[in-house]
Amino acid sequence: MRNLFLFLAKYYGFFVFIALEVVCAILIIRFNHFQRTRFLSSAGFLSANVLNAKSSVTDYFSLTNQNTELSEQNAALLEQLHNGTGQVRYIYTEDSCLIEEGMAPSIWKGTTVDTASTRKLYKFIPAKIINKTTLKLHNYLTINKGENQGVFPQMGVMGPNGVVGIVHKTSANYATVMTVLHKESRISALLKKNSHFGSLIWDGKNEFLAYLKDIPTNVSVVPGDTIVTSGYSDFFPEDIMVGTVENVDREPGSNFHTIQLQLSTIFRKIEHVYVIDFKDRDEVRALESNNINE
């Protein structure tokens, strides 16, 4: 306390000067319209900048929560899209007939829809990528969801812009995904304009380009055509974006196109994905295995 008094006594004149300056400034601003207007304008500008800076800092530290919420919302929207209106899905009526969802009521011929029997075929599980490779011949990514969250091997994985890959291995809370950028990757895809399907493969050279094989040369294919998932596997529902045709060639003596496509997913930029849980996977595989064994 003694030191404080000594300090105040030593700089007494300086503090009095500052106090008088503040009083003068208040009087000038209070009794002069021009100065008051300028002060309020400057104060408002300074306050806005401070609030903007505060908002930026707050937004930055809340990005993780915001991204999580957006991923969950997008997953819910994807479930609505692939389980509801706008897709070819079938629902039971009371008289055991099958009708396409979205069909005009006049076509139902008086049948009543039992909405309780409608089932969701697909569930989308949001996940964050915690590690990945893009420059190898066999590329994988690691996500922060595993068996405890309902993620298991052989589930399809998509991102905001389209197909990403297939779940390879899982642990309790993590999973690795074999991406499209893998030499052994094979995904069923088709030309959206005419529904001719083939196999999506990667040649190990360019992370932005892949190839669609097994499309006959009598099928019309031109640059710019859209490639989507076919729905002919239990990895992906139909109509998920894969990419667009970049170039079309035909090897001499071959009956098939060599279709090069620009992938819709940029793997070095992607941060969040959705694991696709097809509810009837086991039932479909068991049924198809019987065909193989015959």
The band of 117, judged by pLDDT with boundaries at 50, 70 and 90, is very low
The band of 31, judged by pLDDT with boundaries at 50, 70 and 90, is confident
Which CATH number describes the domain made up of 122-293? 2.40.10.340
- Which DSSP state fits 131? E
Which three-class secondary structure state does DSSP give residue 32?
A: coil
Report pLDDT digits (tens) over 216-244.
999 999 999 999 999 998 899 999 999 99
Please answer whether residues 262 and 244 qualify as being in contact, where contact means their C-beta atoms are separated by less than 8 angstroms. Answer: yes
Instruction: Indicate the average pLDDT of the chain.
Output: 78
What mean pLDDT comes out for the span 172-201?
A: 95
What mean pLDDT comes out for the span 153-161?
A: 93
What are the phi and psi torsion angles at 256 (to 5°)? -130, 150
- Which residue is listed with tokens 């779940």? 167
Which three-class secondary structure state does DSSP give residue 183?
A: coil
CA-closest candidate to residue 193, choices 219, 160, 165: 219
Query: What does the pLDDT read at residue 177?
Result: 97
The pTM assigned to this predicted structure is 0.65
Query: What does the pLDDT read at residue 88?
Result: 39
Please answer whether residues 166 and 178 qualify as being in contact, where contact means their C-beta atoms are separated by less than 8 angstroms. Answer: yes
Query: What does the pLDDT read at residue 87?
Result: 41
Query: What does the pLDDT read at residue 286?
Result: 85
What mean pLDDT comes out for the span 35-60?
A: 57
- Which DSSP state fits 164? E
Q: Is the pLDDT of residue 152 over 70?
A: yes
Considering only residues 263 and 104, tell me which one the structure prediction assigns the higher pLDDT. Answer: 263
Which three-class secondary structure state does DSSP give residue 260?
A: strand
Chain centre to alpha carbon of residue 216: 33
Q: Is the pLDDT of residue 11 over 60?
A: yes
Out of 63-72, 84-93, 257-266, give the one with best mean pLDDT. Answer: 257-266
Q: Is the pLDDT of residue 192 over 70?
A: yes
CA atoms within 13 A on the CB side of 259: 32
What are the phi and psi torsion angles at 223 (to 5°)? -55, 140
Tokens read off for 109: 């011929």
The band of 4, judged by pLDDT with boundaries at 50, 70 and 90, is confident
Please answer whether residues 153 and 170 qualify as being in contact, where contact means their C-beta atoms are separated by less than 8 angstroms. Answer: yes
Tokens read off for 180: 């499209």
Which three-class secondary structure state does DSSP give residue 122?
A: strand
Which three-class secondary structure state does DSSP give residue 241?
A: strand
Lowest mean pLDDT among 152-156, 188-192, 208-212, 254-258: 254-258
The band of 105, judged by pLDDT with boundaries at 50, 70 and 90, is very low
**Range(s) of the chain covered by CATH 2.40.10.340:** 122-293
Tokens read off for 88: 């070819």
CA distance 146 to 248: 39
Chain centre to alpha carbon of residue 35: 54
Q: Is the pLDDT of residue 197 over 70?
A: yes
Q: Which amino acid is at 72?
A: E
